[in-house]
Homo-oligomer: A and B are copies of this chain.
Amino acid sequence: MQYVGQHMELVTRGAGFIGSHLVDALVASGKSVRVLDNFSSGRMEFLSHHDGSGMVEVVKADLLDPEAVRQALVDVDVVHHMAANPDIRLGTTVTDTDLKQGTVATYNVLEAMRLEDVGQISFSSSSAVYGEADVMPTPETYGPIKPISLYGASKLASEALITAWCGTFGAKSWVHRFANIVGPRGTHGVIYDFIHKLKADQGRLEVLGNGRQEKSYMSAHDCVQAMVHLVDNTSADVNLYNLGTGDTCSVRRIAEIVVEESGLEGVSIEYTGGDRGWAGDVPKTSLNVESLFATGFRPDMMSEQAIRHTASALISEIGL
């Protein structure tokens, strides 16, 4: 992969799970893409199908290195900022990861944009910003929002930095509040964890909590299609949307689907109990996606279908 010329789009954590799907979508729409990734969880193999295409350039650098970020922004028109600590649960034991890899990294991206005169940013926020909302499905207009995880806090902090940059320095932004995104190349999350548990013990699947946690899921493919759709079709200074399917799925149902897709017989699904998986886990999330749908976007898969598709793909990737 090599330098491909001017007017490209940058994807931070472009070798990661959702980032690499976004690279696929951007290349499919004819865009030249630069990937910035520190490869802490990103993998070069997620991009290897673009080798030789001349459309994708890869820069290995860390967002906590301001000078490297600035260099990566040369000739860039739009930054798709996907980088973050992917492990939401980590915040319960290590408290500075989300601050650094979330909030400070976003600051570094924005400051580099200001210095290099890059005026557009599309950001992967999260339904985690809503914490335990009283209103479900939760619309973008819900407030006050009170994230309960350190991950959610870093996403809200990043959103705030972005809107402040727009208000103070004239940048234009898209803020995408993601449902739980699932799909091939996933490197974390409940489906990934269940498969690894089954790999270790094919007779038993332990589920954290009582299994009644219920959340919105969206396939990575639909997620990046929605991102590209919104960037192409909305034009406010700050374009903030929930990204999801409009329905939900319980953890209990996910466990059943993963077992079904595994082909294993006689698996005992066991619950540790309690209404959440861990402190900071939100037991129920349901995103109101009327605003997204009003822009003309529709997902290809609903929550259960996305989960089944993902379970099948990850079982192939991970092996059982």
Contacts and interface: CB of A to CB of B under 8 A. Distances in A.
Interface in A79-115: 91-92, 95-96, 99, 103-104, 107, 110-111, 114
Nearest to A161: B153
Contacts of A96: 107, 111
A240 interface: yes
A230 to B, nearest CB: 15
B131 A146 contact: no
A219 to B, nearest CB: 25
A99 B104 contact: yes
A168 B91 CA distance: 8
A147 B164 contact: yes
A45 to B, nearest CB: 34
Nearest to A177: B144
Contacts of A170: 279
B131 A163 contact: yes
A264 B152 CA distance: 53
A140 interface: yes
For the side of the interface on A, what is the size category?
35 or more
Contacts of A140: 143-144
Given A99-B107, A156-B157, A164 B143 contact: no
Nearest to A279: B168
B163 A279 contact: no
A238 B148 CA distance: 10
Closest 9 CB pairs of A and B: A148-B167, A143-B143, A157-B157, A153-B164, A146-B163, A153-B160, A156-B160, A168-B280, A150-B164
15 contacts: A91-B164, A99-B161, A103-B103, A140-B143, A140-B144, A144-B145, A146-B160, A148-B166, A148-B167, A149-B164, A152-B164, A153-B160, A156-B160, A167-B279, A170-B279
